[in-house]
Amino acid sequence: MLIEIMLVVLTLFLLLYRFVTKNFDYWEKQGVTQIKGHFPYGSHKEIVTQAKHLNQLIQENYEKFKGEDFVGIFLLGKPVLIVQNIDMIRNVMAKDFNHFVDRNCASIGQWSSGGDLDQLWAQGMTELLGDEWKDVRSAFTPIFTSGKMKGMLKMIAEIGKAMKKNFEKYADSGQDFELKEEFGKFSLDSLAACAFGLNPKSYEEGSGIFVRSAAAVFEISMVENLKVLTRFIPGSAWLQQKLKIDVFKPKETKFFRDIILKTIQHRRKTGERANDLIDLMLDCMKSSDNVEVVENEQADDSKLKNHKRSKELTEDIIVSNCLVFLIAGYDTTGMTLGSVGYYLSKYPEVQAKLQDEVDQAYEASGGSLPDYTVIQELPYLEMCIMEALRKITPVGGIIRACTKDYTFPNTNITVKHDDLVIIPASGLHNDPQFYPNPKEFNPENFSKEAKAGRSPYAFQGFGQGPRQCIGMRFALLEAKVALMEVMNSFSFIYSDKNPEVLQIDPNSQLGYVKGGLYAKIQRR
């Protein structure tokens, strides 16, 4: 019996070995420089062991292979092409978007392969594939137009007041504080207010389970990382679906799902409206209109053209997307505000220039927070946010899955249906060809002239093309309100608690700085 068991184990091992290693010459065969794959982790053991963050690896590869248009790697056994040439990046993200519609490959790695809770994530916009994604994206895009954002400004401004009070406490005590932690409270409360009419009151002492659950989603242990990565092993996704195994944060997912469902049911029963994202999504669900051309005020490349909705939206889709908005928007915005705070404390001349712009806007509106249009027209404010996103980029590698075989123009390089492509955001953001002196924090990198002088694809803070961040306008509005409120009353002071050299924390999902970023604050 023992021999039979050993034989089965050996056969399974050999099969796994074959599955993982069979493509290890995939890129070489096409004449692409590749980073050698090793069983079982592929090209980068560090991703599996969490010794290095993906953002850092992508930047290191970009610098090491500068001048190469493409670099091939393997994630476990999966061939992944890093596209470094800026024109080819535009092809993938916009021009030939129809070949790269998805962010996940259909055969493996999908959340939908787990239990019911994983399947909720599968219906979120970040994970959806093909026409299903187009249906949901086109239905929900109108939620983020300026008209709707104007309506949300009031809710965000309310949370801004609580944030200011909290900073007064730090101004009185002169204590250092961790910037992302404090701004994360603002980000979470504004999202919770705008998404489902709740106020988790993160600024109050001993804040509750809502705040803890949101934070827990971003604390990924090595075991959890491995569980997610197993989806890249052929056959594993199928097995997890059969056994209904939820691998991604089941406890927290259930917590948020129940809140959203309760809110939907309450709104339906009472007819109450908060004009938050839940209401706007429920409106979209009722509307049977097909969306022909999606209203989108961003660049032409980002438009999802001529898509007709093929399927009705279900309650599950609303729950999934509320969940996704909360998770996609919480840490990203908190982290970005934290980075801006850090750099303002480090570069007092930039802070003084920003304060001048903000002061003038407050003065013109009689001392109170200016209205939506004025906020949107403050150039230096947006330049500071974009530069902070360039320096500390939450999503350092933007992923696309090939949905239709594609040969890059004027090359013999073909990516096949289901191959993955990475756009090296963290590499592009540190390339002196696009950003002179990239190590410096210099908001002038985002002046009108500087932007006009380089390809828009050199900035990937929110991604690009029809699949770029749908919440960008909302995130920018939140960040602008928070910074205006702080800059109008306080100045950030550099804290000695900051590390001398910033390093990406490999355990942080979004590549935040190891040890955190600190500042003190003083009244002006």
The two most distant CA atoms of the chain are separated, in Å, by: 85
Q: Of 110 and 464, which CB lies nearer to ligand HEM in the complex structure?
A: 464
Does residue 471 touch ligand HEM according to CB under 6 A?
yes
Does residue 143 touch ligand HEM according to CB under 6 A?
no
Segment 21 to 80, residues that bind ligand HEM, using CB under 6 A = none
Distance CA 45, CA 226 (A): 12
Stretch that binds ligand HEM, among 58-66, 109-117, 330-338, 413-421 (CB under 6 A): 330-338
> Pick from 325, 343, 457, 492: which binds ligand HEM (CB under 6 A)?
325
Nearest-approach distance from CB 398 to ligand HEM, in angstroms: 5
CB 117 within 8 A of CB 246: yes
Does residue 138 touch ligand HEM according to CB under 6 A?
no
Chain centroid offset of residue 436 CA:
26
Nearest-approach distance from CB 335 to ligand HEM, in angstroms: 7
Distance CA 33, CA 414 (A): 14
Stretch that binds ligand HEM, among 210-218, 228-236, 267-275, 460-468 (CB under 6 A): 460-468
Short-list 188, 191, 196, CA closest to 218? 188
Q: Of 309 and 520, which CB lies nearer to ligand HEM in the complex structure?
A: 309
Beta bridge partners of 399: 422
CB 83 within 8 A of CB 92: yes
Stretch that binds ligand HEM, among 204-212, 235-243, 308-316, 325-333 (CB under 6 A): 325-333
Nearest-approach distance from CB 440 to ligand HEM, in angstroms: 21
Find all residues with CB under 8 Å of 449, minimum gap 6, and list them: none
Q: Of 369 and 399, which CB lies nearer to ligand HEM in the complex structure?
A: 399
> How many CB atoms within 10 Å of residue 411?
14
Does residue 469 touch ligand HEM according to CB under 6 A?
yes
Find all residues with CB under 8 Å of 327, minimum gap 6, and list them: 214, 217
Residue 384 annotated as binding? no
Does residue 395 touch ligand HEM according to CB under 6 A?
yes
Stretch that binds ligand HEM, among 75-83, 221-229, 326-334, 514-522 (CB under 6 A): 326-334
Q: What are phi and psi of 504, to 5 degrees?
A: -75, 135
Structure tokens at 167: 């900073």
Nearest-approach distance from CB 9 to ligand HEM, in angstroms: 40
Kindly state the helix (H) or strand (E) to which residue 521 belongs, with its residue range: strand 518-523
Angle 167-170-174 (CA atoms, 0-180°, nearest 5)? 145
The radius of gyration computed from the CA coordinates of the chain, to the nearest angstrom, equals 23
Binding site members: 469
Contact positions vs ligand HEM (CB under 6 A) = 103, 125-126, 137, 324-325, 328-329, 332-333, 336, 389, 394-395, 398, 461-464, 467-471, 474-475
